[in-house]
Chain A
């Protein structure tokens, strides 16, 4: 009996959305259409609760300053504190890790050439916690363990699309070789198009975002060859976060000879705060 990747889930991690939910203000004409986009997901998660989520996200200068900038950092601790991003930690349950699975992945992928940084002290910020809230609501405790993978998309050079997809494939293989009957989902977060800085702030590119979703589903190999310059130019300086979605896509079994995934849910909405929001559930 070994573990399996049962689904990959993708979502933006807009901090304002987490704040609105935390404060009980995520209602009304602005938020209702956004929250409605996650209603089908909540029902699906009730029937498809994983044992572990392998959660790909980026830290926003909270766990990592300029002192240490790991390109790919895997959280191997039994627990991850909620980061104080300047307003106090989000009032969400503690994040419980899965050190056995995390170290199994480390031991499988580093010999393959993916030199992950091993992190035991990792305060997790909105990049990780907002997607948990969007999928699971506001429970007393999260319904599953989480293995975080923090990706550097802040300081250039950031990892390439090819590298992210290849790492995702290696992580998928590693999960499927884990001895234990675990249902694992791999989540990719961030995006979609947005730019938070400079005179071009506010950029949103709806046709590009939707084409990205199409290609992520049906042509991840081709999509992986897109250069970071195209992400910057078309999706904005913070839209480059989307490269992380390729890690989650790479872990799906169809890229290791398995069946084509099923699109269970697809949602896109503009605007959420300064960003375009995208959400996708692919079932293996």
Chain B
């Protein structure tokens, strides 16, 4: 029997379920390796060569090289693991968060200051489909 995924209709959200974890295993383990200072230095010195040491798909490697967080999420990345790439780059988490929303960092910061993204209109994919 297929696993029930009653969360797939939540818009703009990737749930790190077993399928995501399975396809993202090496992407996330690569991210974990960046907790070591030596690995961070080696990665920054030659990103492609470092990525080639890992059993990741070409799409996953390109997403990392592009720092495309939404793409990494869709390819099995988990945000707590992916955050280690941002830390390696010296970026704040807010910078990373903004990059996933299609907003500038200033726009994202202003939204948070004003109380964050409202749940209204953001609970169901159908609400996003109507407005787009």
Interface, chain A (partner B; CB < 8 A): 15-16, 60-62, 65-67, 84-87, 154-157, 193, 195-206, 208, 229, 232-234, 236-238, 270-271, 273-274, 276
Assess A274 versus B93: contact at CB under 8 Å? Given A61-B84, A197-B79, A234-B119: yes
- The answer to whether B7 touches A84, judged by C-beta atoms less than 8 angstroms apart, is no
For residue A204, which residue of chain B has the nearest CB?
Answer: B116
* Residue B97 at the chain A interface, CB threshold 8 Å: yes
- The answer to whether A271 touches B115, judged by C-beta atoms less than 8 angstroms apart, is yes
B17 to chain A, nearest CB (A): 4
B117 to chain A, nearest CB (A): 4
Kindly name the residue among B10, B32, B93 whose own CB sees the greatest number of chain A CB atoms within 10 A.
B10
B32 to chain A, nearest CB (A): 4
- The answer to whether B122 touches A203, judged by C-beta atoms less than 8 angstroms apart, is yes
Kindly name the residue among A87, A157, A271 whose own CB sees the greatest number of chain B CB atoms within 10 A.
A271
Assess A200 versus B115: contact at CB under 8 Å? Given A61-B78, A154-B80, A232-B7: no
Q: A65 contacts which of B13, B29, B70, B98 (Cβ < 8 Å)? A: B29
- The answer to whether A201 touches B97, judged by C-beta atoms less than 8 angstroms apart, is yes
Assess A270 versus B116: contact at CB under 8 Å? Given A66-B21, A154-B16, A197-B73: yes
Stretch at the interface among B41-49, B53-61, B105-113: B105-113
Q: How far is the CA of A271 from the CA of B111 in the complex (A)?
A: 10
The 9 closest A-B pairs by CB, nearest first: A204-B116, A200-B12, A199-B12, A86-B87, A197-B79, A61-B80, A202-B117, A156-B17, A65-B32
- The answer to whether B97 touches A202, judged by C-beta atoms less than 8 angstroms apart, is yes
* Residue B63 at the chain A interface, CB threshold 8 Å: no
Q: How far is the CA of A71 from the CA of B27 in the complex (A)?
A: 22
Which residues in B have their C-beta under 8 angstroms from that of A236? 13
Within 8 A of A (CB), among B86-104: 87-88, 93-94, 97-98, 100-102
A58 to chain B, nearest CB (A): 9
What string of 1s and 0s marks CB contacts (under 8 Å) between B1-40 and chain A?
A: 0000011001111111110010001001101101100000
For residue A15, which residue of chain B has the nearest CB?
Answer: B93
* Residue B81 at the chain A interface, CB threshold 8 Å: yes
Q: How far is the CA of A23 from the CA of B79 in the complex (A)?
A: 25
- The answer to whether A233 touches B10, judged by C-beta atoms less than 8 angstroms apart, is yes
Q: B101 contacts which of A15, A202, A234, A238 (Cβ < 8 Å)? A: A202
- The answer to whether B100 touches A270, judged by C-beta atoms less than 8 angstroms apart, is no
The 18 sampled A-B contact pairs (Cβ below 8 Å) are A60-B80, A61-B32, A61-B81, A61-B83, A62-B35, A65-B32, A84-B35, A155-B16, A197-B79, A197-B100, A198-B70, A200-B101, A204-B112, A204-B115, A204-B117, A232-B7, A234-B123, A237-B13
Q: B7 contacts which of A87, A201, A233 (Cβ < 8 Å)? A: A233
Which residues in A have their C-beta under 8 angstroms from that of B78? 61, 154-155
Assess A200 versus B73: contact at CB under 8 Å? Given A60-B80, A206-B115: no
- The answer to whether B80 touches A200, judged by C-beta atoms less than 8 angstroms apart, is no
Assess A232 versus B15: contact at CB under 8 Å? Given A199-B70, A200-B117, A274-B93: yes
Assess A198 versus B13: contact at CB under 8 Å? Given A86-B34, A270-B115, A274-B93: yes
Q: B116 contacts which of A84, A157, A232, A271 (Cβ < 8 Å)? A: A271
B24 to chain A, nearest CB (A): 8
For residue A231, which residue of chain B has the nearest CB?
Answer: B7
Q: How far is the CA of A60 from the CA of B82 in the complex (A)?
A: 11
A136 to chain B, nearest CB (A): 25
For residue A64, which residue of chain B has the nearest CB?
Answer: B32
- The answer to whether B119 touches A156, judged by C-beta atoms less than 8 angstroms apart, is no
